Structure 1
């Protein structure tokens, strides 16, 4: 959970990177303007509460000075317990959470805008999720799916689907079916997302620390065949090359740098452009 208030952010369009978590945002203002494509963004209206499924393509978010809210990275296997449906049923193109969450979410947004500080804001959102969990007591996922997710996450997405299926006692086909039913993606795609997420985090950390990054070295250390393989997967998920993306996110970095992680970039590459960031 991260609280953000963008005091010095230039007005622009931000590329929201895919990740292996769901994004849940409750705004402290009118809301977030987000679309699955840059072409669709001009027609969007602010959504006070954002909830997105497991994305495999970068979203586009209009960045405005003064935006504020609370953002959470939510485990996809918690979706049934928190939101009343598997994450496979959450939209990856319509980010408005109100049709899914109903009046509870509307009340949450209204109450959040009245909180006097971050501590109260965090407590309010945490209480909302705890209450949602209690209302759906018993909602969960099959243990084979949970264990398979754990194995993929522990390997940072590099474990083979055959190895994971064997460890959880299922055929690859059955595991694929269960993953699609629960999160809307196959184990292979989830693993690729996890590896991409870990890699972009490494890239962002190197850029912030020393202003440049060795992509070939990172590719070797994160399970890609080579730098070209990393670049192809980056283009697949981000819609642009590492260098082009770096230029968007870190305009002050000289040639040689590259960067980032999660949906709408809360506490990672955006941290140098947010005023009054906070996290519990």
Structure 2
């Protein structure tokens, strides 16, 4: 059924799982007719690569800086811990790729710890990724459909992975990350260190070197991301979010704990975020998020 007839303002297309090395998800998006607004790009436990099909994305870490932001046709962000402010305009479109942080060296040539998280760094990755990424952006603007767009991005990332030949992250970091991911961030850090055979302090040092965040911060990002996934599913199924149930299922002590984490990462309570983003959440829920949510 046509999205406009159902009252939806965004089109989404989802690439097949395991589209490219290190890719957790690849989604095409197009703003059909939503008016100018500011969208909150929420923190997550993945890196964000956006290759635009238009002039680019205007993003900043604060509303004040957003006024001076220039369009970035190639945007890449590290593990940020507060919401990014993004200008949304009618016709805006692109391919957003969620990348596993431990694949950063293999795809971008640097560890995730060296990627921008806002502030004065900005998010424009044109200089870091070079002419090849800009060429992908230029070709995307002429791609005939989402399948062709996904193929272009996939080919680019596969070529990056092949040509860089980067050294894999330390096995302790890989194992610890896997344990955290399986538990949606609920694995205690002290037990995590014992499980991988290093001290908690050393594990923290390894995480900071690789992804720029401590194991505890990564765990809170994973738990927060899982809570948002549950909220999105609730909105899709029930038309509302059962926040008390979400809080318990995601591992928070109670709804007040969930509220505090939302305010910490977004500046908004879950209820305020839902009011602000309800239409976007409805549109996103149309996509088979079981396949693309990291």
TM-score strictly above 0.5? yes
Task: After TM superposition, give the deviation of residue 33 of structure 1 in Å.
Answer: 0.7
CA drift of 1:38 comes to 1.0
Q: What corresponds to 2:147 in structure 1?
A: 119
> What is aligned with 2:204?
176
Q: Which moved more, 1:167-176 or 1:137-146?
A: 137-146
For 1:229, the equivalent position in structure 2 comes to 257
| 1:60 aligned partner | 85
Asked if 1:142 is matched to 2:170, the reply is yes
Whether the 8 Å contact between 2:235 and 2:282 is mirrored in structure 1 is no
| Matched residue count | 260
How many Å apart are 1:130 and its aligned residue? 0.6
State TM-score, norm by structure 2: 0.85
Separation in 1 of the partners of 2:236 and 2:84? 23
Displacement of 1:214 in angstroms is 2.0
Q: Which runs of 5+ in 1 are unaligned?
A: 252-264
Cα deviation, residue 208, structure 1? 2.1
Which deviations, in whole Å up to 9, do the C-alpha atoms of 1:132-161 show, x marking residues without a partner? 011111422011101100000000000000
Runs of 4+ more than 3 Å apart: none
Is the 8 Å Cα contact of residues 77 and 141 (structure 1) preserved in structure 2? yes
**TM-score between both structures, scaled by the size of structure 1:** 0.89
* Alpha carbons 1:35, 1:61 under 8 Å: kept: yes
Aligned pairs for 1:200-279 (under 5 A) are: 200-250=228-278, 270-271=283-284
In the other structure, the counterpart of 2:133 is 105
Specify the alignment match of 1:196 in structure 2: 224
Pair 248,10 (structure 1): closer, same or farther in 2 beyond 3 Å:
same
Which of the numbers 157, 165, 172 marks the counterpart of 1:129? 157
CA apart distance, 1:244? 1.0
Residues 179, 270 of structure 1: CA spacing in aligned structure 2 closer, same or farther, 3 A cutoff? farther
Contact 1:8 1:273 in 2 (8 A): no
- Consecutive unaligned residues in structure 2, runs of 5 or more: 1-25
Which deviates more, 114-123 or 144-153?
Answer: 114-123
Cα distance in 2 for residues equivalent to 1:153 and 1:217: 21
Q: Shift in Å at residue 111 of structure 1?
A: 1.6
CA contact (8 A) 2:233 2:285 kept: no
